[in-house]
Structure 1
């Protein structure tokens, strides 16, 4: 079997398996004599299948490489010849039945070539989209960092401490979103984020922003090594940001020591249970998230509602928040892996 694949009109590769005349044993294909070499290009140039049992006209070329019988069928894609299948030197004369059989093989070969080309086009498209998506995450991260810097400059020009604190909180919220896009830009999966790494980076940023001594307020993170889609990771990150910020600002007054805990584990039913707790002085026992005036706690309720996650607040030797992240009903929903 001789396979001549062409690219832009030039031979691409040749694969050969020859049966010796009358012996039935496979041998190594040798180039035919010069006067017969054009036979292998005939089907490629004409686009027509053929067989010839007397290619030398009964005389001329001789020797082990001489072509005594040949059958060739062009391989076509979209009416364009892209290669050929050729048989040479069988132990008997070729007949029409042989031509029909190789024609079928050529059609299957053409289908395989088209499948391979489709795969190559698909992979190229996916690579282009991956590069584009990575660039989008990178630019979003940079734009969010610019906004954070503008908020910082604005805060520095204010004399009112309360106003400066409000801008600082907004700056930290922007940073928490920028962290998601920064991690996505650097990760292999551009649609999902490793939540454990994200939580640690987020809390490190908050502790640094508020100038917290980790020897006074410890952080304990027990988060499953799960991957969250961006539509779930950003609301969860902002929820953690609000609750941890609230603990850092209010739970440990007058230099009090303590601990902040963040956990993510399987929920009793389906989904995951996100826990944020501290052992500080605690919130008022009659706090109601539906009527609370604190912007941070209102944001927690709103963000949890965006991902259909119920929120519970318990006040016992500190404050504990539990957010039930639902298991998605479909692939389009927020997936938890």
Structure 2
């Protein structure tokens, strides 16, 4: 045992449980020279009573006791909260007893003998057990400090998400108010699209706050909420379309979800506006699934009049630029499937 070990044993109290009172007295004298205070107990009942009184730093527990063994007492000690470390003492040459003692909660074991080495070995085992117990306490204290720091950071991040969501809702409301004051239909349409884009971003932060999530978002729940808002805000008598969502239970990082939300908003909005003739009801399907382990596939499709990506853009073309930018940001590839006779199928694949 390293004599320079930084553990101060001058105040260390040992509970020694052994029915051999003569050996107990001998050990008390030898351990006192090492700076230990020893309390003797001749059986399990008196030992547990001493332990319950407190002030015990480490326990030396003999195997053979009157009417019982140390293995009967070990589980009782192990169930006590913050119990001292236990060094098991046995005179048996059967290694299975020592193994069983370790299984039941002993920190170390020493084989009892009549030689002077026994005292030295016991002292070394007691010191090592105390050192391991100190390291465990320090590790637990560090883990608790880290947990508290993490909880504070998560609480702060939740508050940030809450404030961001509220601020974006305020911005969307201001855009809506501005829209109501404009007569130009092109400007009105542009502002409405801007409002929907703001909602798509704000919905991510609102989802993080409401679901107490940090850093990752449940995609299926988020898309369900986002598409519900789009259905309410875009659907009317001229566009009585239904949105059908089929999404795998996946989690993505916040930045990817924001980009994904904008892509879904743009594609669904385009389908609402252009896929079907005015007044005709139609279905818009959104599917999100995992492909090939680390890839995700997004499909947005309808059964409408079809879409030619090479044709001149309708409106300002900002939506197309946003789609391409978000796909690039996600490391994805956005294409349009022309194999179907009717309708439009937009497909985007991107890595998790």
Partner of 1:320: 345
Quick one: which of 317, 329, 338 aligns to 1:306? 329
Partner of 1:251: 275
- Residues 163-211 of structure 1 show CA distances to partners (whole Å, capped at 9, x for unaligned) of 1221111111000111111111122431111111211211111121123
Aligned-residue CA RMSD in angstroms? 4.0
The alpha-carbon distance between structure 1 residues 21 and 273, as it changes in their structure 2 partners (threshold 3 A), is same
**Shift, 1:53, TM fit:** 9.8
Paired residues for 1:141-290 under 5 Å = 141-212=165-236, 216-267=240-291, 270-284=294-308, 286-287=310-311
> 3-state DSSP class of the match of 1:272?
strand
Q: Relative to structure 2, which stretch is displaced further, 192-201 or 267-276?
A: 267-276
Higher helix share: 2
Partner of 1:49: 35
Q: Taking structure 1 as the reference length, what is the TM-score of the superposition?
A: 0.69
The alpha-carbon distance between structure 1 residues 285 and 294, as it changes in their structure 2 partners (threshold 3 A), is closer
- Residues 260-289 of structure 1 show CA distances to partners (whole Å, capped at 9, x for unaligned) of 011112336850111011111122363389
The alpha-carbon distance between structure 1 residues 296 and 100, as it changes in their structure 2 partners (threshold 3 A), is same
Matched, 1:297 2:317: no
- Contact 2:307 2:344 (C-alpha < 8 Å) held by counterparts: yes
Matched, 1:135 2:159: yes
- Provide the C-alpha distance between the structure 2 equivalents of 1:149 and 1:101, rounded to a whole number of angstroms: 71
Matched, 1:123 2:147: yes
Q: Taking structure 2 as the reference length, what is the TM-score of the superposition?
A: 0.66
Listed as ranges, the gaps of 5+ residues in structure 2 are 1-12, 41-45, 51-55, 59-82, 88-111
The alpha-carbon distance between structure 1 residues 109 and 288, as it changes in their structure 2 partners (threshold 3 A), is farther
- Contact 2:287 2:298 (C-alpha < 8 Å) held by counterparts: yes
Listed as ranges, the gaps of 5+ residues in structure 1 are 1-13, 25-38, 55-63, 75-82, 327-335
> 3-state DSSP class of the match of 1:49?
coil
**Shift, 1:101, TM fit:** 3.2
**Shift, 1:300, TM fit:** 0.6
The alpha-carbon distance between structure 1 residues 49 and 213, as it changes in their structure 2 partners (threshold 3 A), is farther
- Provide the C-alpha distance between the structure 1 equivalents of 2:39 and 2:244, rounded to a whole number of angstroms: 84
Partner of 2:19: 20
Question: After the TM superposition, which parts of structure 1 deviate over 6 Å for at least 4 consecutive aligned residues?
Answer: 14-17, 83-87, 91-94
How many residue pairs align between the two structures? 271
The alpha-carbon distance between structure 1 residues 194 and 212, as it changes in their structure 2 partners (threshold 3 A), is farther
- Contact 2:16 2:38 (C-alpha < 8 Å) held by counterparts: no
